[in-house]
Amino acid sequence: MVKAVVLGAAGGIGQPLSLLLKNSHLVTELGLYDIVNTPGVAADLSHIATPAKVEGYLPPDDGLKKTLTGADIVVIPAGVPRKPGMTRDDLFKINAGIVEGLATGIATVAPKAFVLVISNPVNSTVPIVVEVFKKHGVFNPKRIFGVTTLDVVRASTFVAEILGDFKKAPDVTVPVVGGHSGVTIVPLLSQSSHPLPSDFTGDKYDALVHRIQFGGDEVVKAKDGAGSATLSMAYAGAEFAFKVIKAKNGEKGIIAPSFVHLTADAAGGEALKKEIGADLEYFSAPVELGPEGVVKINPLGKITDAEKKLIEAAVPDLSKNIQTGIAFTKKSNL
């Protein structure tokens, strides 16, 4: 029995994500919460002939509490998406308070649930969730995840495209590490399950790295003011949620990159910090999942000089983004 909850369920990501969760037999109960439209979204999804019982709540009458009661996994795509011209800082100013409020609800009502943060900027919103959980004395680093799966999904798709065979896309795996915005996104293309052609170097390599790091901009630009990635993000969010649920159900050997607090596996976290040469509190690394969440933070392993440079370039931004999230919660009265 798994109760999955989506906070921000009526949004561009929230609706298709809720559909994918409802479509899965891994979910037996689906709780939907938003400040608008959730009764409608829930009624609509509830007619689909799959096992999950669906309920939707709005803020009045303790709606958040009702949604979160009994939750095993909570996915958060609530907040404002990026529009052309908007910086990550602009986004942070709006989304930080939304995420903090929702994290307070989870820490109070479902402190043992797995929390999957989609709301951007993930490098700062995950530290907000963690600080809120610490304030409530319920922090368990094994259970809080920043969802970076879209970077992994994009890397797989773009590599398959370069290999000239889209049929390969579902099988291509490329670890993407670091963080979840711009230069903090570090694809380890040398570890791709399907190697790139040997002459794929220089400008071609740089262009692919840039496309993975700034793939979100392609979508923001194409949507021309109507938001950022929603459908591919819903797919990526559901894929990661299914991995967490399968591991909770006892399936072994599930590994996926995610932005986590490095004490989730103290020994693995320390080893990773040595590898990257920086004392960061958070990093997106391939993590092995188990019934309690993170079992192991895997090392980056053998990486090229070009990838080492990308990691070096990621660290300053990552460190700043993490501190921004922590500082926000320290100042807040929630």
Ligand X SMILES: NC(=O)c1ccc[n+]([C@@H]2O[C@H](COP(=O)([O-])OP(=O)(O)OC[C@H]3O[C@@H](n4cnc5c(N)ncnc54)[C@H](O)[C@@H]3O)[C@@H](O)[C@H]2O)c1
- Give least dist CB 91 to ligand X, A: 6
Are 75 and 110 a contacting pair, CB within 8 Å? no
Structure tokens belonging to residue 78 = 């609530």
Secondary structure element (H or E) that encloses residue 98, with its range? helix 88-109
Cα atoms in the Cβ-side hemisphere of radius 13 Å centred on 141: 17
Are 311 and 319 a contacting pair, CB within 8 Å? no
Q: Any contact of residue 256 with ligand X (CB under 6 A)?
A: no
143 labeled binding residue: no
86 labeled binding residue: no
Q: Of 16 and 293, which has the nearer Cβ to ligand X? A: 16
Are 248 and 26 a contacting pair, CB within 8 Å? no
The DSSP bridge pattern shows strands 176-178 and 144-146 to be unpaired
Q: Kindly state the DSSP code that residue 120 receives in the 8-state scheme.
A: S
The DSSP bridge pattern shows strands 254-261 and 3-7 to be unpaired
Binding mask 212-231 for ligand X (x = CB under 6 A): ---------------xxxx-
Describe the crossing of helices 305-331 and 88-109 by its angle, rounded to 10 degrees: 60
34 labeled binding residue: yes
101 labeled binding residue: no
**Which of the following is catalytic: 180, 194, 210, 261?**
180
202 labeled binding residue: no
What CA–CA distance (Å, rounded) separates 170 from 133? Answer: 36
9 labeled binding residue: yes
Among 28, 58, 66, 101, binds ligand X (CB under 6 A): 101
Span from 23-31, 119-127, 201-209, 315-323 in contact with ligand X (CB under 6 A): 119-127
Span from 49-57, 117-125, 190-198, 199-207 in contact with ligand X (CB under 6 A): 117-125
Among 98, 129, 177, 209, binds ligand X (CB under 6 A): 98
Q: How far is CA 133 from the centre of its chain?
A: 18
Q: Any contact of residue 68 with ligand X (CB under 6 A)?
A: no
Angle at 296 between CA 293 and CA 297, to 5 degrees: 110
Among 4, 7, 21, 73, binds ligand X (CB under 6 A): 7
Q: Of 37 and 298, which has the nearer Cβ to ligand X? A: 37
Secondary structure element (H or E) that encloses residue 106, with its range? helix 88-109
Q: Any contact of residue 147 with ligand X (CB under 6 A)?
A: yes
Angle at 142 between CA 140 and CA 145, to 5 degrees: 105
Is 180 noted as a catalytic residue in this protein? Answer: yes
Q: Any contact of residue 24 with ligand X (CB under 6 A)?
A: no
Q: Any contact of residue 119 with ligand X (CB under 6 A)?
A: yes
Active-site residues: which are they? 180
Bind-site residues for substrate: 82, 88, 120, 154
Which residues contribute to the site for ligand X (CB under 6 A)? 7-8, 10-14, 33-36, 77-82, 95, 98, 101-102, 118-120, 122, 147, 150, 180, 227-230, 233
